[in-house]
Each structure stands twice: as C-alpha cells, then as structure tokens.
Amino acid sequence: MDYNAIELMICTAARALEDGRTVVVGTGIPCAVAMLAQRTHAPNLVVLFEAGGVAPILPTMPISVGDSRTFHRGVMASSMADIMQLCQRGMVDYTFLGGAQIDCYGNLNSTFIGSDYQRPKVRLPGSGGACDLASFCWRTMVVTMHDPRRFAAKLDFLTTPGYLTGPGAREAAGLPPNTGPHRVVTDLAVLGYHAQNRRMQILSLHAGVSLDQVQKATSFPLEVAETLDETPRPTADQLGILRSEVDPHRYVLGRAG
C-alpha cells in the first residue's frame, strides 16, 4: 500500500486519540489527525480550537484556528479565554504542539534559532498559546519530521515546557502533577518518555526503519522500550478517508511531495 510520510504520521497519531477524549488542535497536521480520528474510531472526540470553537464537526480542513469552519455544528462558539480556562481546570486531555527544536525531556523551542536573542539566525513565531497548553493539558503530543537539528541536545531557547530538567522538575516549577509530554510521532518512529527518568524513548519503529537510523537522526541518546514494536501501517480505510474527506485538496498531504 502506497502512502507518504505525512500520511503515515497522521494515521499513527490519530490512533492515539481515544473516543470521548478532549483535544486542543491547531491547523495543519494536528487538525487532520483529529478529523481522521473523528471519522474512524473516535466519533465522540471533542475537538477544541484556541480561538474558541468547541466540539465542531469539521466539514473540510480549516485554514486557521479562527476559521468559521472551526465552529461548524459545534456546541459552543467561545473565546481564547474560555479555551485556556478549560485547560487550567484540567478538562483537556490532549494538545498537539510543534516547534523548531525538541530535546530529550520534550521541551520545545519555537522562539528563535541562534545564540543571541536580539540577533538570531532565525526568528520563529514564538509561543502563541503553546506554553499555556503544554503547562495545563494532561498530555502533549508532537508530530514532526525526524532530523538531528530538530531533535536537539540543547535548545537555543525554551519556549514550551516538557519535563524541563527531568523527574519532579515540572512539579517544582508549579505545574500540575501527572501532566506533560506523551508521544512524539515522526516519519521514522513513535517515541514516548521513560516513566522514571522522563527521557525520550523509542516505543515503535516504522516499517523498514532501524534503531540505528533513528538514533543517527537524533542529537541525544534515546532510551529504548523493553518491548519494541513495529508501528502499524495505515489502513486502506484510513487513507481513503484522509485523502477524500479530510484533505482532498492536499493542503497538508501535499507537503510530503
């Protein structure tokens, strides 16, 4: 069965969202993940958008978090303040975030690349709501391509907290206990976090990918789960729905070429 890297990541991440859960998503890949999950195994997935859309039934791919489609057949058209207070009250299970860099504890950088904040090599968009979402949602998901520059030994700037410096660091910083990074889905593997030391670990390898290949694409040593599985491949049903209903115009799927 033919599929590209973006399709593989979307189908893999969609499986992680259980029916009846709540998830804050942005546009692009996270939105495609939520739409696919709703149309397959999680029809009661409650999707929230930062601009205020609560539980919409998305007809087509929105182009922004404030797009009118993010309110389509929803239960509430609220505001950013309402979405953030839901997170602060512990009512949001998942959020999807990204960044230019991620480290071994799941901390993210979406602020700048370089050593000088005033004169960066690259100025990035910044946090937006990412710091708030990662601080208060129960589980943070990341979907990203896998390469050594992105999986960095040290962030150029810490925009969004993961497990910070390791076990107990989130709680010491005043963040709610039992929250934090959950999964990283890449074009090579699915990664989680070790229960004791909180470092990133490989949970499954995609078909045809080796451990050595994943480690070479990462700038820090990775833990490996005791039982290392092969990631299930996308099914024909998943791919059909993804291509014909979720993203027929290939706004997201087309990024893989």
Q: How far is CA 129 from the centre of its chain?
A: 14
Task: Show Cβ contacts of residue 61 under 8 Å, excluding neighbours closer than 6 positions.
Answer: 27, 31, 32, 35, 69, 246, 247, 249, 251, 252
User: How many residues belong to the chain?
Assistant: 257
Q: Would you say 108 and 130 are in contact if contact means Cβ atoms under 8 Å apart?
A: yes
Backbone angles phi, psi at 152, to 5 degrees: -95, 145
Concerning whether 50 is annotated as a catalytic residue, the answer is yes
CA distance 95 to 107: 14
Q: Would you say 56 and 69 are in contact if contact means Cβ atoms under 8 Å apart?
A: yes
Of these residues, 7, 50, 171, 226, which one is catalytic? 50
CA distance 220 to 169: 20
**Tokens for 57?**
């039934």
CA end-to-end span of the chain, whole Å? 17
**Tokens for 107?**
């901390």
**Tokens for 36?**
């696919």
Torsion 200-103-28-257 (CA) sign: negative
**Residue 11 host element (H or E):** helix 5-15
**Catalytic residue numbers?**
50
